[in-house]
Structure 1
Amino acid sequence: MQRKNLSYIDFIFRSGLYILITTLPLFSISAQERCAVPKILEERARNNPNLSTQQFENWLSSQQILQKVLSPLRTRKEKVTVPVVFHIIHNGEAIGTGGNLSKERIDRQLEILNEDFNRLNADTTETLDEFKALASSFDIEFIYAKQDPDGFETSGIVRIPGSLVDYSYQERSILTAESYWPAEDYLNIWVADLAGGSLGWAEFPISNLEGLEEASNNRLIDGVTIDYVFFGENPDSPTFESKGRTLTHEMGHFFGLRHIWGDGGCSVDDFCEDTPTARNSSTGCNLGKITCESLDMVQNFMDYTNDACMNIFTEDQKSRVRTVVENSPRRLSLTSSPALEAPPVYDVDLGLSEVNSRYTGSCSGNFNPQITVKNQGLLPIGNYSVQLFVNDILEESIIVEDTLNSGEEKTIYFSLLNFNEMGEYSIFYNVDLIGSFLDERTDNNQKIEYYQRIQQASLPYEKSFNNITPWIIRNPDEEESWQIFDVGLGVPFYGNRQNFGEREDIISPIFDFTTINVPELSFVFSQVGDSIPNNIKIYASYDCGRTFNDLIFSNSITDLSTAYPTDTVFIPEHRLDWDTVKIDLNRLKDEPSVCFSIVAENRLSNNFYINEFRVQESSKKNREIDIIRWEDVNPLVCNETLEGVITVKNVGRENIDSYEIQILENDNLVNEFTMNNEVLVPGQETQINLIIPVPSSNINEYEIQVITPSNDADIVNSLYLPFSNDCVEELPPLRLSLNENGRDNWYEFNPDKDAGWTFNPNLLAVNSNSSQINTKGSEDWLISPLLDVSRVNYLGLIFDISYRKPFRQSETFEIYISDEGGKYFKSLIYSKSGDSLATSLGNDIKEQLIWRNEFVDLSPYVFRNKIRLAFKIKHDNGQDVNLKNITFFVGQSPPPAYPNTLEPFVIYPNPVQNEINLHLNLEIAEEAFFQILDLNGKVMLEFIEPKILNQFISFDVSQLAAGVYILRLNTDRISATERFIVIK
């Protein structure tokens, strides 16, 4: 027998059919692929990129540990009861024939389930001696549900002709829709003819950790599904004799158990310590199987062995299952379900069934009210009336005189209602007996639903949410819901952590999309980055809010976390606490009636907020080429032509096969190109080499234009190339000066003409101004002077950096070194972004910056003789990057911290024997004259350094006799001396 979980789905191939399938070219399933878990998991990962089984396991482990520590004797020994409903989905056969199983077979399957889960199975005596001490009872009893969702008595068995002949796991939503009872109160077990060789599958329990977002959304398929052939006892089942253990196995998955080999091999665990590791699944019943240097537990219900071989669950499996039962919301709620108790039985009891939908609407304002009446009492009822109230005003009363026998029901149809005014209408139904009989139970005599006539709004549309009107809230659970806060529209999830999985809807006005060419929806949102963000989706309706079936946005694709987690209720305070999502609605442009439902699902996280909602003409054109960035830059030239590579991108919606590039200087055209050699599809980038004639002036700016032809006006996008004829060479050491009168020939390159790098003398730093630049991905450069490194063997770069990383945005800082004597910047020597760049974290702006010192060894590049460095910032509209103390020094390792002194240099060691070191720290680089003198003023050694700043200088003093000497330093600005002692 083969059983395999898909984390949520246990997809199992029926062995008999497997042999048949492998002979068919259509399927091409090899023996190694008889369980399609890898393919299904790949599909699941694509659809839910945040899904993480490991995170669920971490949560489950923490719950188990907590429970063992705090309450070892708590409900572990208390038996819990779970109500079961069997949905028998058949093909029209008589009861007891084919898939329409007999009640006796269903009864026996329920007995088997209870035997296996409580160690009452007759084959416990066959458990191997090695494992008998580990065997455990789960103390869980499964019973037939005693009342249905409407409060009527039930046998716990529902028989429904299916819409399909058989069902694959991909069609499980179709199968469960054939017959479904709320998964919070009923353990749904669907029994049908399963396609694809599947024996069955089960849904894993939901948790409150990141990675299982889809579990709550799957409440409509939550339960267990079994092929009718392997349901209960069936000696005629193929490959092995069914003894009802397929349901036992799948029920283990339903309560959180994994396969005992962990679906991975010896190194993969099933998170139960007392189940030995196994390399793979087992078939047949090889009791001596050893795969991971220990005896495999092939008799465990969570292996793939034959039914007759299975007979054990373990203590750790019990701990795992009971942890899930006592903590996972929909498993816990089963143990207190009203279905555990039979409904009260009265002689006279007339009640109303639930309405189909608590909320509805239509474009016309017409509504057809109807309600179903059921005689739930023992005696027949002959006369009763059903009333319809609209907003608490009696609209219509219908008297029925037909006899309604016990258990019978009748649907009552009222006159058509027309709601002309916009807004919400409560539709209230009530049933009363007529005559001398009194209804002995009245709590089932009223039902309510709501009709919402949604207001229309013109486009473009903008809502800032300082009030709700004309939006409409749908709040079926009458718990937390959308409301207005000081910061905008939100849901107070933080204070409502008991309502896991509940959905809160708010409905927009209706828009006519035929009045807009290219529609775009955008909203501004805020939410902390909890382990599981709240589930946010936006659906579109084309029938004025009656149905919302078109999912246009989901945060499983676009993360909506904007701020770091907090232990208190989250209220957005800072600019970076908010961000914007834009949704292209071009496919809706011909729809005359569209409204949106924003659905927030409670994931036990913090509050979620929206403060702007817009529907307007998209900024995205049908045809547009834009310049994205410079790939190579040489804005500093020495009498040569300017060259470079730019990247352009098709940012429109249509293919573009022709566009122009023009280069202008002082609005005069100096060069142009027609690009028609390739077709650019939407989103495609390409690189273009640019050669520009020798500039007519030493300092100026070129404008690079890319022109896209259009049926209307041509679309022109520009990038700017400021340049300077800068051939001045500097010698190291060198430090960036923040003196406004001169910056040592440092140069700012700002192709977008936005804020860019600026010098801040108050901070003694340069600032990227990323917080002011809205164009994400734009770049700015800070370029060093041309350095003559021909006279040094070693060269280092040190600088201090400060960057407070926000939660959502991430700036990138890179350093390039030039090739070809400072002409191009192609060699990347430093790159950090996000967390690796950060010196602190937070969306707020701190007054005191936190700095980190960085060192880059430039010695491998001194062979080039002349170099430049470019410091590039890539903006993300987050926080600013600050740099200070950018210094080139002569050396191969970062210098130690300079002593806390105002002196321009220090000497060490002192006394000295052979070699003395000078640690220099000047504010301005300049030429220096050094002398070593004895106490009589005799010059023992002297030399000139063409430029000093902050480097180390070593002197060989081994030839000096023992004694006291004086080191003298003279520059144009300073004169300083220091004594030192030579010892022998």
Structure 2
Amino acid sequence: MKQLYHSYFKYVFGSGIFIYLLLLSFHQILAQERCAVPQLLEERESKYPELSTEKFEKWISEKKKLRFQSSQRNQSNLVQIPVVFHVIHNGEPVGIGGNLLKSRIDRQLEILNEDFNRLNTDATETLEEFSNLAASFEIEFIYAKQDPDGFETNGIVRMPGSQASYGYQERAILSSESYWPAEDYLNIWVADLANGSLGWAEFPVSNLPGLDAASNNRLIDGVTLDYVYFGENPDSPSFESKGRTATHEMGHFFGLRHIWGDGGCSVDDYCEDTPFASRSSTGCDLAKTTCESLDMAQNFMDYTNDACMNIFTLDQKSRVRTVVENSPRRKSLTESVGLEEPPVFNRDLGLTEINSQYTGSCSGNFTPQIKIKNQGLFPLDQYSIQMLVDGELTETLTFNETLESGEEKEVFFSLLNFEETAEYSIFYSLNLEGNFQDERLDNNQKTEYFQKLENADLPYEKKFNNNINSWFIRNGDEEESWQIYDEAIGIPFYENRQNFGQKEEIISPIFDFTTLDVPELSFVFSQVADSIPNRVSIYASYDCGRNFDDLIFSNSITDISTAYTVDSVFTPQFRLDWDTVKIDLNRLRDEESVCFNIVAENRLGNNFYVSQFKIEESSKKNREIGIVKWQEINPLICEERLEGKLVIKNIGRENISNYKIEILNNGSLIKDYILNEELLVAGQDTEVDILIEQPEQNVGEFEIRAITNGVEGEIANSFYLPFEKNCIEELPPLRLVFNGSNSNNWFEFNPEKDKGWEYSSADFAVKSNSSEITTESSEDWLISPLLDVSNTNYLGLIFDVSYRKALRQSEKFEIYLSDDNGANFRTLIYSKSGDSLATSFGNDVPTQLVWRNEFIDLSPYVYRDKIRLAFKATHDNGQNIYLKNITFFVGQSPPPPYPNVRKPFVIYPNPAKNDLNLHLNLEIAEEGYFQILDMKGNVILDFTEPKILNQFISFDVSQLAEGMYILRLRTNRFSASERFMIQK
């Protein structure tokens, strides 16, 4: 290993250190964006600890030693690597945009060979300090000579992509656009890359046993390059591309790390002849010195400009050659059939292209067609092709026309008509007729499938209860696919994690959307929160399953993880393991023939499930106003009017400029607000100031109606505001006693009229019933009595809370304080939600609650004569919030825990010297009469407290003589006494 010498610097130039750190931070940001390999390595290692850097480096170190000891190190052993360039463009003609000219691709291949073999013309510019370390890797990259089907190729595939650009997180999508088996071909994808990345590469793995499942990400193995920095491009931004991005990423592909180790002076790149560096280099600073040595800024594994790069080192060569000779899918490249010319036969007739592996049509009519090609050297003039449908010979075409060597012919069969709803297999078999035999038969057969889909009426609901019935699976790779589970369908991704990038499809029936006014699709799903969640997409087809081109949903936008990660096969067990996504399909309302394809893509995650698929009229109207919540209001009236803010939201599809708010009492309109001044955009909310005069009755309920008018007529949504004239005052201390009907002057405010706060006898607590409330952002309030704090200097609130956080749902708990004598709640004193509120985590209903004690100092608010508190739960249909031991106590800090004894009070220390502490813990607050007596019964001290409950009181007993005394407490309910001793 290299020796590392540390040097410490102290900056004393005012803002100089800030500028230095700012530039360093900016430099690091640029470095992170240029090459995504560090992120890929971090992602892989977190997912598969068995592929850790430590284990890989230990393996490669041992292999390097063995290689050094063998005769390999002295041999000149040129190896060839077959390359295929997948040019993924946006439909441009060749030579425009990302659809690069072949000449530019040719030049990039030349640059790779020059740089890897020290044939680059700028090799003479290597600094003298490093020139003796320069190495040739003796690796030659060549265009693949035959494709995976054994046909001749030029090593370039051009394909329009499904996305305009790709980030490294979407590399499975990119590779699925075009891919050749990574065991035999070095895949190089050239595309428009997102997020500033110039490229990335998949890092090699060891050949140690036990790594098959973790390392077999063959479907993404290769190198990815941004087309702008591909080959020579004098117009590339930041720096002029000279093709060194490919050289850099190819170094990663063969196991080289960034020269600065992606860390600092203490982080190694595991090559002994590359100096340590504290960070990457940019530009071309050849004098850059960090870690007490000159940096090798010209190394291809740094971030310098292309024109500055010119060297790989001897130990980098040793590392790369070790990988080439030992790592799976690196060693196999050197033995690939792609290096060989395709086999040449005198007579070789083959099938090349069919319509597609799966197809369909609305009418059931299908015209089969296929291409045949003369792959042999001799012309052929007698051949036939048979078509079998579901195993039965349907048609034979015989040809007596010459097909020259290399010539292709497109063949059309008679129109087929499939009337029954089913899947049909169409098998083609090519035969050479006459006196000669076909010398290669493995390219003479192909199969495709036609699916005649069922028509289904709308509205439609499919529950996957042990069947898929009118749905069809498309399993093109013949690997894992959709399976039927209890109450759901799913894909066993967990057992097949090696098949990264594989797509599994299932096709719906055909629907006529002209029968719905405002269609909406929803599906119920379940999957755990893996670090790389499975990709789930839904595509629409307007030609009955022939083409699925319209993406209507993707979880790249909407996260659909529902449960916490598990280290085994995930099976949904609890209500919260499932969730629903709703998709607005209003744009399809004029389409007569629509079917859907649910596509789940293997991204090394756990199993994915769907239990229900539904299409129905959307509950969302064109013009509709919803009432979201009240703010700053107290429904407990003393002498004041009810006033506050009503939060309303445009929950319709259209922008609204006129609507009204009506307030009713016992069905009679008492006030309305006509609002037509401000445009309310769809999805936007706003506040409306509301003032309601004090009602005549003591208890009642206002109905608040938000009304709009449109083509659907009048649409009104109601919100209910219960009220009560409640001016009963309580003195602190006070404890919430909420055991069924007796709420001890506490008030529940439930504006949606759903199931609000209630007492749970099993838990001796109040609970929020969030698990039963499905209304979005529904609220429930629990409001305290009016507290008289006019004679209180210090006041505290303590309570215990329990909340089990589900993965997807997030309840919120807040406490508001009214410091205007109880008129309105405007002061937020406590707010926690989700993870911060949680005392435990899980989708299962807890068998035992986990509690956390909370304390809030209310002393800053006792300057007012009266205060109220409101406890508000905002629901998300997740787990319930539980509260107990809600207590107001006199004091500025929480009292110590009460001893585990069944006594109304305890005193300590005992014996006492100067102070005696009295800790009360009564069930019910009431007046208390205290006495301290000596053993003869003489009263030394007596006083009365108007209300006692849970106080913590200290007495000064320093003036008492040594001896035994009695503390006596008497209330209307009991009398108790305790002895204590004074000891000086």
Alpha carbons of structure 1 residues 863 and 519: separation in structure 2 relative to 1, 3 Å: same
* Cα shift at 1:469: 1.9
- Aligned match of 1:64: 53
Distance of aligned partners of 1:397 and 1:309 in 2 relative to their CA distance in 1, 3 Å threshold: same
1:787 aligns to what? 787
In 2 relative to 1, CA 443–714 (structure 1 residues): closer, same or farther, beyond 3 Å?
Answer: same
Q: Which residue of 1 aligns with 2:150?
A: 151
What's the CA shift for 1:508?
A: 0.9
Alignment CA distance shift 1:323-1:662 (3 Å): farther
Residues 513 and 590, structure 1, Cα contact 8 Å, conserved in 2: yes
Contact 2:927/2:971 (<8 A) preserved: yes
Q: How far apart are residue 537 of structure 1 and its match? A: 0.4
Correspondences of 1:212-227 after superposition (within 5 Å): 222=224, 225=227
Query: What does residue 757 of structure 2 align with?
Result: 757
Answer whether contact 1:326 1:332 (CA < 8 A) is retained. yes
2:713 aligned counterpart, secondary structure: coil
In structure 2, the residue corresponding to 1:737 is in which secondary structure?
coil
* Structure 2 partner of 1:570: 570
**Equivalences for residues 83-482 of structure 1 within 5 A:** 83-85=82-84, 101=103, 108-109=110-111, 111-112=113-114, 114-115=116-117, 142-154=141-153, 156-157=154-155, 182=180, 184=182, 186-188=185-187, 202-205=199-202, 222=224, 225=227, 230=232, 245=244, 247-252=246-251, 276-277=276-277, 281-283=281-283, 286-290=285-289, 294-302=293-301, 303-305=303-305, 307=307, 309-312=309-312, 338-466=337-465, 467-482=467-482
Aligned length, in residue pairs = 916
1:554 is displaced (CA, Å) by: 0.6
- Structure 2: distance between partners of 1:39 and 1:102: 26
Question: Does the 8 Å contact 2:112/2:246 carry over to 1?
Answer: no
Distance 1:795 1:954 in 2: 16
The secondary structure found in structure 1 opposite 2:722 is strand
What percent identity do the matched residue pairs reach?
58
After TM superposition, the structure 1 = structure 2 runs for residues 425-574 of structure 1, keeping only pairs within 5 Å, are 425-466=424-465, 467-574=467-574
Moved more, 651-660 or 267-276: 267-276
1:439 deviates by: 2.0
Kept in 1: contact 2:203–2:253 (CA 8 A): no
Q: Given the superposition, is the C-alpha separation of residues 459 and 788 from structure 1 closer, same or farther in structure 2, using an over 3 Å criterion?
A: same
**1:734/1:148 CA distance change after superposition, 3 Å:** same
TM-score, with length taken from structure 1:
0.84
Check whether the contact 2:113–2:140 (CA below 8 A) recurs between aligned residues. no
* Secondary structure, counterpart of 2:456 in structure 1: coil
What code does the residue aligned with 2:468 have?
Answer: I
Over residues 166-217 of structure 1, what are the superposed CA-to-partner deviations in whole Å (9 max), with x where a residue is unaligned? x9999x99xx99x96637453355899x99xx9x954543999xxxxxx999
Q: Distance in 2 between matches of 1:659 and 1:498?
A: 57
Q: Which amino acid aligns with 1:407?
A: G
Partner of 1:909: 909
SS at match of 2:826: strand
Deviates more, 1:135-144 or 1:295-304: 135-144
Partner Cα separation in structure 1 for residue 697 and residue 308 of structure 2: 93
Change (3 A) 1:803 1:448: same
CA contact (8 A) 1:455 1:470 kept: yes
Amino acid in structure 2 at the alignment position of 1:230: E
Superposed CA deviations along residues 248-273 of structure 1, whole A, max 9, x for unmatched, are 2353466687875799x989999779
Q: Which amino acid aligns with 1:426?
A: S
Larger deviation, residues 530-539 vs 842-851: 842-851
Tell me, which stretches of 5 or more residues in structure 2 are unaligned?
1-23, 206-216
Q: CA 1:641–1:345 in structure 2 vs 1: closer, same or farther (change >3 Å)? A: same
Instruction: Give, as a single letter, the amino acid of the residue that structure 2 aligns with 1:403.
Output: T
List per-residue Cα deviations over 1:404-452 (Å, max 9, x = no partner).
3443332222223232332222121111111222223212110111122
Amino acid at match of 1:932: I
Counterpart CA distance in 2 for 1:533 and 1:168 is 20
Whether the aligned pair in 2 keeps the contact of 1:796 and 1:892 (CA below 8 Å) is: yes
- 2 CA distance for matches of 1:270 and 1:521? 53
1:27 is aligned to: none
Which residue pairs with 1:14 in the alignment? none
| Stretch deviating more after TM superposition (272-281 or 751-760) | 272-281
**5+ unaligned residues in a row in structure 1: which ranges?**
1-31, 46-50, 209-214
Match of 1:26 in 2: none
- Distance 1:103-1:838 versus aligned 2 partners, 3 A rule: closer
Which amino acid in the other structure matches residue 399 of structure 2?
V
SS at match of 1:825: coil
Tell me if structure 2 keeps the 8 A contact 1:127–1:312: no
Give the root-mean-square deviation of aligned CA atoms.
4.4
CA contact (8 A) 1:262 1:269 kept: yes
Paired position in structure 2 for 1:800: 800
Q: CA deviation at 1:856?
A: 1.1
Change (3 A) 1:650 1:334: farther
1:850 is aligned with what amino acid? V
Query: Residue 632 of structure 1 contacts residue 644 of structure 1 at CA under 8 Å; is this kept in 2?
Result: yes
Residue aligned with 2:930, SS: strand
Q: Which residue of 2 aligns with 1:710?
A: 710
Aligned residue number for residue 778 of structure 1: 778
In the TM superposition, what is the alpha-carbon distance from 1:331 to its structure 2 partner?
Answer: 7.8
8 Å contact kept, 2:117–2:137: no
Q: Deviations over 1:146-170 (max 9, x none)?
A: 311321244x45599x999xx9999
CA deviation map 1:919-957 (0-9, x unaligned): 111111111111011111111111111111111011111
- Deviations 1:303-339 (CA, angstroms, capped at 9, x unpaired): 33455751125858987998899999x9898678652
- SS of 1:670's partner is strand
Aligned 8 A contact 2:260 2:278 in 1: yes
Cα deviation digits, residues 27-82 of structure 1 (max 9, x gap)? xxxxx9x99x979979x99xxxxx99964686699532222346743599699864
Q: 1:54 to 1:106 in 2, by over 3 A?
A: closer
Task: Give me the whole-angstrom Cα distance separating, in 2, the residues matched to 1:240 and 1:38.
Answer: 13
- CA deviations 1:676-734 (Å, max 9, x no partner) are 12111101111111111111111111111111113333111111111111111111111
Counterpart of 1:182 in structure 2: which amino acid? W
Q: What is the Cα deviation at residue 574 of structure 1? A: 1.0
Residue type at the aligned position of 1:205: E
* Amino acid in the other structure paired with 2:470: P
Q: CA deviation at 1:885?
A: 0.7
Amino acid at match of 1:429: Y
C-alpha distance in 2, partners of 1:340/1:520? Answer: 53
* In structure 2, distance between residues paired with 1:59 and 1:124: 40
Residue type matched to 1:465 in 2? F
Which range moved further: 705-714 or 384-393?
Answer: 705-714
Task: Say whether residues 1:73 and 2:62 are aligned partners.
Answer: yes
Which shows bigger deviation, 130-139 or 484-493?
130-139
Question: What secondary structure is seen at the aligned counterpart in 2 of 1:901?
Answer: coil
Partner amino acid, structure 2, of 1:425: Y
1:226 to 1:736, Cα distance in 2 relative to 1, 3 A? closer
SS at 1:647 equivalent: strand
Does the aligned pair in 2 maintain the 1:781–1:872 contact within 8 Å? yes
Closer/same/farther in 2, CA of residues 253 and 416 from structure 1, 3 Å limit: farther
- SS in structure 2 of the partner of residue 709 of structure 1: strand
C-alpha deviation, 1:744, in angstroms? 2.3
Q: Which amino acid aligns with 1:146?
A: K
Indicate how the Cα distance of structure 1 residues 812 and 630 shifts in structure 2: closer, same or farther if over 3 A, else same.
Answer: same
Name the CA distance, whole Å, in 2 between partners of 1:148 and 1:570: 39
In structure 1, what is the equivalent of residue 818 of structure 2? 818
SS class of match (2:825): strand
Cα displacement (A) at 1:884: 0.7
**Further displaced range: 557-566 or 265-274:** 265-274
Match of 1:11 in 2: none
Q: Please say if residues 146 and 338 of structure 2, whose CA atoms lie closer than 8 Å, have aligned partners that are also in contact.
A: yes
| Conserved? CA contact 1:516–1:617, under 8 Å | yes
> In the aligned structure 2, how far is the partner of 1:398 from the partner of 1:240?
59
